[in-house]
Amino acid sequence: MTEVRVQSLGLDRTSNTPVVILQEQGGARVLPIWIGPGEASAIAMELAGMKFARPLTHDLFRSVIRGLGGRLEQVSITRVEENTYYAELRIRRGAEVFTVDARPSDSIAIALRLEAPIYASDELLEETSIEIADAGDEPDYLESTEEEAEGEKRGSLTPEELRDHLRRMNPEDFGRFNP
């Protein structure tokens, strides 16, 4: 497992879907995960330090963990299957350790609230991560082959096509997500 941090939160302009970009600590690889708008708002609000008079869902979960005497030790993003990412919350309460299956987006929102580390499996980082392009690089992702363009129209890129497409993108190429 490799520790990662939330590098940015954006909006994929091609699909109008929020994307959380995780970057390995001390490294250049990033892992984009497409998430729902509600979870993106929860992450964005925590990153911005916004507080509300009444607890939102992820705040409630933080209160439940603490209220039961637990501590979130870490969040682990473990795998991807059929374009669905999986994560686990590792919660310690005294000598007991509980592992809870969860969506990565919810897990990230909770980890930020509890200041817990986030990890991604090394295998996942090797298979699906991209390296951040230099800001000065020419944005050649706008040019695509006829085959890539047809795949994008169908909305069904192969894993290799998606990986190549993401490699050519800068995090700045994603629109900023505003909750």
Q: What is the pLDDT of residues 158-167, one digit of tens each?
A: 455 555 555 5
Q: What is the pLDDT of residues 2-54, one digit of tens each?
A: 999 999 888 888 888 899 999 999 988 889 999 999 899 999 989 988 888 88
pLDDT of the residue at 79? 92
Tell me, yes or no, if the pTM score tops 0.75.
Answer: no
Residue 93's contacts (CB-CB under 8 Å, 6 or more residues apart) are: 68, 69, 70, 71
Q: Could you tell me the CATH number of the domain that includes residue 101?
A: 3.10.690.10
Domain of 59, in residue numbers: 2-176
How many structural domains is the chain composed of? 1
Cα distances from 125 to residues 30, 41, 44, 176, in angstroms, run 8, 25, 23, 24
Which residues, in sequence order, are bridge partners of residue 71?
Answer: 92
Phi then psi dihedrals of residue 172, to 5 deg: -70, -15
pLDDT of the residue at 143? 30
Of the candidates 36, 42, 5, the one whose C-alpha atom is nearest the C-alpha of residue 120 is: 5
Asked if residue 85 has pLDDT above 80, the reply is: yes
Which residue's entry shows tokens 């916004």? 50
The answer to whether the CB of 40 falls within 8 A of the CB of 105 is yes
In angstroms, the first-to-last Cα distance of the chain is: 30
pLDDT of the residue at 178? 52
